[in-house]
Amino acid sequence: MSSCGNLVKFPVSTVVPTADISITQKKDKNGNTAFSLKAKNLSAANRLSPPRNFYVVWAVTNENGIKNLGQLSNKNAGKATLETTTSFITNEVFITAEEQGNISYPTGTEITRVALNK
Q: Per-residue pLDDT tens, the chain, 118 aa: give them.
A: 344 678 999 999 999 999 999 999 999 899 999 999 999 999 889 999 999 999 999 999 988 899 999 999 675 557 899 999 999 999 999 999 999 999 999 999 999 999 997 5
User: Which one of 3.40.1000, 2.40.70, 2.60.40, 3.40.50 gives the CATH number of domain 6-115?
Assistant: 2.60.40
Residues 16, 48 contacting (CB under 8 angstroms): yes
- Cα separation of 84 and 36, whole Å? 7
Sequence ranges of the domains in the chain: 6-115
Q: Check residue 3 and give its pLDDT.
A: 47
Q: What is the 3-state secondary structure (H, E, C) of the chain?
A: CCCCCEEEECCCCCCCCCCEEEEEEEECCCCCEEEEEEEEEECCHHHCCCCCCEEEEEEEECCCCEEEEEEECCCCCEEEEEEEEECCCEEEEEEEEECCCCCCCCCCEEEEEEECCC
- Cα separation of 38 and 7, whole Å? 11
